[in-house]
A = this chain, B = another copy of it.
Amino acid sequence: MSTPYAFAHANRARFLEEYQQLLRIRTISTQPQHAQDVARAAEWLREMMLRIGMTSAEVILMPQGRCPLVLGEWNGAGADAPTVLIYSHYDVQPAEVADGWHTQPFEPTIIDERLYCRGAVDSKLHVMANMKAVESWLAADEKPAVNLRVVLEGEEESGSENINAFIAAHPERLAADIAVVSDGAILAPEQPSLTYGLRGALALELEVHAPVSDLHSGHWGGSVHNPLQALCEILAQLHDDDGAVSVPGFYDDVAPLTPQDRQLLQQVEPFLQAEWADVVAAPGQWGEPQYILPERLGARPTLEINGMIGGYTGPGMKTVLPAKASAKITCRLVPHQDPERVMRCVVEHIENIAPPTVRVTVLPGDFGARAVLLDVDGAAMRAASQAYTHAWGLQPVFERSGGSVPICFGCMEVADEVVIMSYGLKSGRAHGPNENIYLQNFYNGIEAMIKFIEVVGAGE
């Protein structure tokens, strides 16, 4: 058992078992009642780092005492060797059976070579595939030719509020030649892909109040602007008929697509169309008609309503005219858009169109992230391309992802190059019910990261 590849192959069953152990821990960072679960997972990961032979490992609480970072190092390659920083996150989105799960959302369940569990894709897959690649290297006869730093975040799903501040305050702890951000998804089981762009994000909540308390809609209907209706009127004015966002200034700083972008994204389109037909399967596609699907998803900004509630929503009828209605909104941003400036545009527009018959409150959310655009022709991207070609037996295509990975900014501050390596699938239903991966993607992920470390170490 002299190579990391052989070690990984021989330990597949145990690796899968440990992955499932982590999946069972309900690391829901947005829900304070799960703070203990997040803390328990952090400790579990720290112990694993030490067990597999990393030089040091530490659990670092974030300012409010929750959602710890887990930071591990292996410095055996010596001071002159390059350093690779590997990031992923172990916290997850909320999940309830009532959302439409066919299995218990926190009990990993394998059906037909797929594993179903909250976090299976996003992002415990990446946490565990990378840790197991590191373990395989440290157990091999020939040790890696690069120093390794692993950073595992516990509050990505609640906005990565603190990690970038931590990096800014302690740049030496994460400094690296190459930072690998491991989150997101590839295009298809048999088609690896590398993400060279990520959208940014911002969040806000909107509340509309009119009467001082809930009223009988028969007694008072017709004399007061129903908050649900006013909210609908406001939200209906945020897009034009073509699906473009109609907030003045929203597109002011948007970077236009280059010929290279258009050429790369065209290669991605057939895969995304197939995924769309499988995963989305709405009665029709929607969005800016002058952009193809991969451009709408990765290179154009959006404004989405993520939740809305008001009045009586239980069984049967209640003829109520509610005192309040509310909505949660996020925007996805593209290169050159500034979250603060876009937030100002959205807030001002909502305040401008709010009717005087209701009271509207806009609450800016506590996170905002710029979009990221990586160098398709850089050395890190080339090494990643070799790693995927090795693991999947096929060259990757290059896409821009619609999701947001705020950590990329922190990584850009401390590393010369950043590359994003994902192993799950877009069809894996991250954030939705029945989140899942093909087991093969877990094994391919381990293989790709072993190869990546090899290629970077060889300085090819």
Contact = CB atoms under 8 A, between A and B. Distances in A.
B317 A159 contact: yes
A94 interface: yes
Contact of A287 (B215, B222, B321): B222
Interface string A292-317: 01001100101011111111111111
A225 B226 CA distance: 25
A431 B214 contact: yes
A100 interface: yes
Interface string A205-238: 0000011111111111111111011011101111
Interface stretch (A336-344, A351-359, A446-454): A351-359
A281 interface: yes
B185 A219 contact: yes
Given A308-B308, A308-B313, A365-B317, A280 B212 contact: yes
B432 A214 contact: yes
A223 B287 contact: yes
A203 interface: yes
B305 A319 contact: no
A197 to B, nearest CB: 12
Interface stretch (A104-112, A253-261, A324-332): A324-332
A283 B211 CA distance: 8
Interface stretch (A50-58, A64-72, A400-408): A400-408
28 contacts: A31-B316, A99-B214, A210-B282, A210-B286, A212-B281, A212-B282, A214-B433, A215-B279, A215-B280, A217-B302, A217-B306, A219-B297, A220-B297, A221-B304, A221-B330, A221-B402, A225-B282, A225-B284, A228-B307, A229-B236, A232-B236, A232-B308, A305-B310, A306-B318, A308-B310, A311-B328, A313-B328, A320-B431
A429 interface: yes
A356 B284 CA distance: 7
B358 A283 contact: yes
Nearest to A29: B316
A213 B311 contact: no
